[in-house]
Amino acid sequence: MSGRASTRVAVLLGGRSAEREVSLVSGAECAAALRTAGYSVIEIDAGPDLVQRLADASPDVVFNALHGRWGEDGCVQGLLEWLGIPYTHSGVLASSVAMDKVKAKEVFAAAGLPVAEGRLVAKAEAAAGHPLPPPYVLKPYNEGSSVGVYIVSEGANGPARLAPDAPDLLLAETFVPGREMTVAVMGDRALAVTDIVAASGGWYDYQAKYAAGGSSHVIPAQIPREVEDACRDIAVRAHKALGCRGLSRSDFRWDESKGVAGLILLEVNTQPGMTPTSLAPEQAAHAGISFPDLCAWLVEDASCLR
């Protein structure tokens, strides 16, 4: 503990992405946990003066609690590489590829991992007609937290009514029915499988993710052993295929009617939510790792790169 007191950790939070509010909560929780673990901690809301604030703070390690664009897509990672400051979670390449859903799917497919069929479409094309046979999903190819996602149901009369601020390029994917599940990977270890049940009975959207009572988490998931093993294996392989380090979280859909063959990898989140009740920390707690210990492990994992 005494060695930790001399380690200065700058927690980056907030930022300017669509996930700013989520990041503020994650960052504050991580900062509190790191103080409990014995570190000297400063919180930095990542803005235009980030370089100057990092220079003033002179941290030994940066704990990256940013979510979404600029914080999760390799941008801030590249800045920290330039400044020579070790940082938590994945590096520049893994972060940028994971955030680009099209490129990530190509990596997963090349590694033999199960992904949904889909393609990149222009906003105008998606608004003019069905880019895929319904049911299908339309989503930004470079956002997280289910921001800007549309589900076009089977039998829909027309295409999605896109918001005026929808991005110019969207990923259209075949809708995969079934249960929503997730697996956190810590280093090279899959922690658990969580079954996510949205309170609305619908899909795991932004409201279900972050509103109080929006969803319930069943851990461990009550699923056949072979499906659990497949989830764990795919999550670790996806983590390695992207070149992730630290902590990641792989999200799945599972069509029970097809057994293991109904398991589809949706995406890998290189900056999973980091509150004590977020999915990855919940799985760590299930594995006997407290939230302060998880945050401390991430700092030590980053420090070893110095």
Q: Which residues are catalytic?
A: 19, 145, 210, 249, 251, 267, 269, 273
In whole angstroms, give the CA distance from residue 173 to residue 222: 27
Contacts of 139 (CB under 8 A, 6+ apart): 101, 146, 148, 149, 150, 170, 171, 173
Give 268's DSSP letter.
E
The DSSP-derived string for 40-60 is: EEEEEE-STTHHHHHHHH--S
Give 289's DSSP letter.
-
In whole angstroms, give the CA distance from residue 266 to residue 173: 10
In whole angstroms, give the CA distance from residue 289 to residue 287: 6
Cβ atoms 232, 183 nearer than 8 A: yes
Token pair listed for 158: 């027309």
Using alpha carbons, select from 117, 144, 81, 124 the residue that is nearest to residue 271. 144
Angle at 305 between CA 294 and CA 97, to 5 degrees: 80
Cβ atoms 71, 64 nearer than 8 A: yes
Token pair listed for 289: 């790792």
Determine the residue type at 192: A
Token pair listed for 300: 């030590």
Q: If you search the block for the tokens 């991430």, which residue do you land on?
A: 298
Cβ atoms 111, 238 nearer than 8 A: yes
Token pair listed for 290: 């407290």
